[in-house]
């Protein structure tokens, strides 16, 4: 076989190998990409082939996604890239670097929470968790890469569990060194190989409140092997990102993280303060389905709190469009349930009304 024929066969083999890596990368199966790359003969890595260089980039990407920055740097060192330094490429692959995310970890379900925290950190985010002092003692050793914040109070007297208040959670973000901050539920796993989409989210969060809906799956493992699986959940919102300088505008509220309504109230607060909200309309957040744990009575009670909160707002002419409509609705309802509806049924209708207002007034970033 001639040298040209050998080169052609080698190039075709590398192309096929690249195709395999692309499928695994798009599926979020980064460990498979790394294993396959390690099996490449050293002579193949020395070939001056464009696809071979792309293979290096994909392997470096996979290493960054699993937190192995050292191997990523080793792969890229000495490569004739357009980037000045391998570290620049690593930063490029961490689109949420410069973002602080806060949650409240539970002293249970550690496997799924560990996956969630790792996924946020793999994109470069700094992770905070606000908890009561006794919970921090239980969690600190399990999550050594999380910075814990001691909650100044909790809701165990009212609701029997040490839920933290949203006001304290958002106030804690004021101490972040990052310009962009966010709130996320502790069991939400972020997984996407569409890095331009993630960078758009970060860019938008510099000037407005970005949020997204999750996809429910039977098992988180499905997102690696079946990325098209999952059912979109639109009845709630599981994560927000926004400018740190606007955090104070979102902190004044009585709602509780881990209970209903906090997620619907943040967009209402945004409308009260005339802040833009933006839906990140793509497949990024995944949630393993489980039985809901909150008390339906809490849902009804906080529905009444929503009406009372909006009624305390002063000059309606200063409100955003959605908040004005909600204020009119609250005034029509009065301070208590009317129309002969049971509290839970009324709260359900109120929630649907707020979701419609959010949908009507928001911007959107669409994943391509």
pLDDT single digits (tens) 258-287: 889 999 999 999 998 889 999 999 999 999
Where do the H-state alpha helices sit in the chain? 3-26, 30-38, 42-45, 50-65, 69-76, 86-92, 110-122, 133-139, 156-159, 166-172, 195-204, 222-225, 247-251, 262-272, 296-311, 321-333, 343-361
The reported pLDDT for the residue numbered 217 is 93
For residue 338, with 0-12 CB atoms within 10 Å meaning exposed, 13-18 middle and 19 or more buried, which class applies? exposed
Helix (H) or strand (E) holding 364: strand 363-366
Say how far residue 3 (Cα) sits from the centre of its chain.
Answer: 51
Average pLDDT of the residues in 44-63 = 74
For the full predicted model, state whether its pTM sits above 0.85.
no
Is the alpha carbon torsion for 228, 232, 238, 244 positive or negative?
positive
- Which of these, 246, 247, 275, 273, lies nearest to 363 by C-alpha position? 275
* pLDDT at residue number 10: 61
pLDDT of res. 364: 94
- Mean residue pLDDT across the chain: 84
**pLDDT > 90: percent of the chain:** 43
- Nearest to residue 351, comparing CAs of 299, 294, 313? 299
Q: How far apart are the first and last CA of the chain?
A: 44
303, 326 in Cβ contact below 8 A?
A: no
Instruction: Check whether 247 has a pLDDT greater than 90.
Output: yes
- How many Å apart are CA 39 and CA 314, to the nearest integer? 66
| pLDDT for res 49 | 63
**How high is the pLDDT of residue 79?**
56
Average pLDDT over residues 181-207: 92
In order of 206, 236, 303, the CA distances from 337 in angstroms are: 39, 23, 10
Q: How confident is the model at residue 339 (pLDDT cuts 50, 70, 90)?
A: very low
280-308 per-position pLDDT tens digit: 999 999 999 877 666 778 888 888 888 88
What are the tens digits of pLDDT across the range 213-228? 999 999 887 776 676 7
Q: What's residue 87's pLDDT?
A: 65
Between 63 and 244, residue with greater pLDDT: 244
Percentage of residues of the chain with pLDDT beyond 70:
85
Residue 245: which of 178, 166, 200 has the closest Cα?
178
In angstroms, the Cα distances linking 276 to 253, 262, 307 are 19, 18, 22
Q: How many Å apart are CA 163 and CA 143, to the nearest integer?
A: 19
pLDDT at 86: 62
Higher pLDDT, 89 or 274: 274
- What average pLDDT does range 155-161 have in this prediction? 89
């Amino acid at each position: 076989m001639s040298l040209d024929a050998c080169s052609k066969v080698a190039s075709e083999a590398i192309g096929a190998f690249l195709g395999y890596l692309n499928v695994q990368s798009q599926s979020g199966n980064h460990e498979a990409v790394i294993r396959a790359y390690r099996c490449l003969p050293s002579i193949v890595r020395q070939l001056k082939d464009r696809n071979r260089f792309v293979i290096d980039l994909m392997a470096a990407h996979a290493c960054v996604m699993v937190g192995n920055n050292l191997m990523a740097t080793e792969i890229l060192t000495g490569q004739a890239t357009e980037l000045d330094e391998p570290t620049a490429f690593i930063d490029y692959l961490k689109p949420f670097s410069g973002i602080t995310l806060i949650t409240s970890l539970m002293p249970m379900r550690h496997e799924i929470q560990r996956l969630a925290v790792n996924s946020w950190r793999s994109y470069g985010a700094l992770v905070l968790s606000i908890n009561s002092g006794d919970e921090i003692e239980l969690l600190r050793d399990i999550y050594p890469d999380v910075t814990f914040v001691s909650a100044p109070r909790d809701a165990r007297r009212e609701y029997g569990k040490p839920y933290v208040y949203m006001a304290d959670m958002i106030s804690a973000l004021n101490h972040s060194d990052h310009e962009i901050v966010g709130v996320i539920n502790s069991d939400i796993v972020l997984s996407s190989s569409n890095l331009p989409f993630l960078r758009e989210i970060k860019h938008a969060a510099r000037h407005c409140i970005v949020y997204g809906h999750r996809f429910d799956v039977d098992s988180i493992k499905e997102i690696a092997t079946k990325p098209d699986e999952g059912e979109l959940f639109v009845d709630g919102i599981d994560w927000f990102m926004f400018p740190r300088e606007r955090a104070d505008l979102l902190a004044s509220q009585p709602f509780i993280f881990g209970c209903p309504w906090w997620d619907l109230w943040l967009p209402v607060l945004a409308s009260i303060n005339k802040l833009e909200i933006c839906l990140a309309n793509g497949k990024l957040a995944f949630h393993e389905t489980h039985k809901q744990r909150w008390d339906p009575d809490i849902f009804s009670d906080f529905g009444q709190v929503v009406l009372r909160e909006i009624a305390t707002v002063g000059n309606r002419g200063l409100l955003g469009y959605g908040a004005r409509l909600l204020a009119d609705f609250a005034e029509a309802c009065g301070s208590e349930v009317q129309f002969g509806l049971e509290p839970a049924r009324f709260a359900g209708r109120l929630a649907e009304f707020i979701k419609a207002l959010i949908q009507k007034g928001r911007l959107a970033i669409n994943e391509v």
